[in-house]
Amino acid sequence: MEKFLISASILSANFAYLGKEINDVIKSGADIIHFDVMDNHYVPNLTIGPLVLKSLREYGIKALIDVHLMSQPVDDLIMNFAIAGANIISFHPESTKHIDRSISLIKEHGCKVGLAFNPSTPLYYLDYLIDELDLILVMSVNPGFEGQTFLPYIFKKISKVKKIINKRKRKILLEVDGGINLENIKKIATFGANIFVIGSAIFKSQFSYKETIRNIRIELDKIKK
């Protein structure tokens, strides 16, 4: 059985004490930190850049950092985020003029590479590129904001991506991002997701991060039986 990974989206964290939030959520059981980069151009919101990631590394954050670029263009940011200490970098195919070149840039800088699909972005971008990827990020909300509702038609897309992945010999991870909570995570896992990006359902939970993540794992454990 594949291991399920929880990637906590710091978009929902308190930016006034981001380093502490990351330490707390990792101590509470999150596997990865999801770092949403929004540029007020590709998406209608503005967040954080490589300087913030660099500061977090200098502050002592050792966790795996999964950078989700929702910006246009991406190539300069790819280099700057890799230098700042990113482990995984994902971008959207429509956000760059040369997808293959942007993928190569991520690899050359020693990071794992992900391609991100908005809810309505077709999967044909995978036709020639799937073998270059470590991860496929399926958006289950339109990117830009935390706390949105999971779009039900994405279940079909997740299983399509899973089928494409299963035909390959290499392991490629399937990450789902947006609107994931205790009620729907089990179903999303059943459709084939490996990495679950969770923002508001962790950081805005009425329970502690530890209890919340424990409850999420209980839901995921139900699948293994």
Binding residues for Zn ion, rule: CB under 5 A, are: 36, 68, 177
Is the Cβ of residue 134 or residue 177 nearer to ligand DX5 in the bound state?
177
Catalytic position from the list 36, 39, 66, 134? 36
Residues contacting residue 50 through CB under 8 Å, at least 6 positions apart = 77, 80, 81, 83, 84
Compute how many other C-beta atoms are within 10 angstroms of the C-beta atom of residue 42: 20
Per CB under 6 A, residues contacting ligand DX5 are 9, 11-12, 34, 36, 68, 141, 143-144, 146-148, 177-180, 197-201
Distance in Å, CB of 222 to Zn ion, minimum: 25
Considering only CA atoms, which of 32, 46, 24 is closest in space to residue 89? 32
Is the Cβ of residue 103 or residue 141 nearer to ligand DX5 in the bound state?
141
Distance in Å, CB of 111 to ligand DX5, minimum: 18
Is the Cβ of residue 63 or residue 223 nearer to Zn ion in the bound state?
63
Distance in Å, CB of 35 to Zn ion, minimum: 8
Is the Cβ of residue 104 or residue 112 nearer to ligand DX5 in the bound state?
112
∠ CA(147), CA(149), CA(150), 5° rounding?
120
Burial letters 115-137, b for 16+ CB under 10 A, else e: bbbbeebeeebbeeebebbbbbb
Whether 175 and 195 have beta carbons less than 8 Å apart is answered as: yes
* Displacement of CA 220 from its chain's centroid (Å): 18
144 binds, among ligand DX5, Zn ion, none (CB under 5 to 8 A by kind): ligand DX5
177 catalytic? Reply is yes
Half-sphere exposure of 124 (CA within 13 A, CB side): 1
86 binds, among Zn ion, ligand DX5, none (CB under 5 to 8 A by kind): none
175 binds, among Zn ion, ligand DX5, none (CB under 5 to 8 A by kind): none
Catalytic position from the list 39, 66, 134, 177? 177
36 catalytic? Reply is yes
- Cα–Cα distance measured from residue 203 to residue 198, given in angstroms and rounded to the nearest whole number: 9
Phi first, then psi: what are they for 144, rounded to 5°?
140, -30
Distance in Å, CB of 196 to Zn ion, minimum: 11
Select the residue whose beta carbon is closest to Zn ion and give its number.
Answer: 68
Enumerate the active-site residues: 36, 177
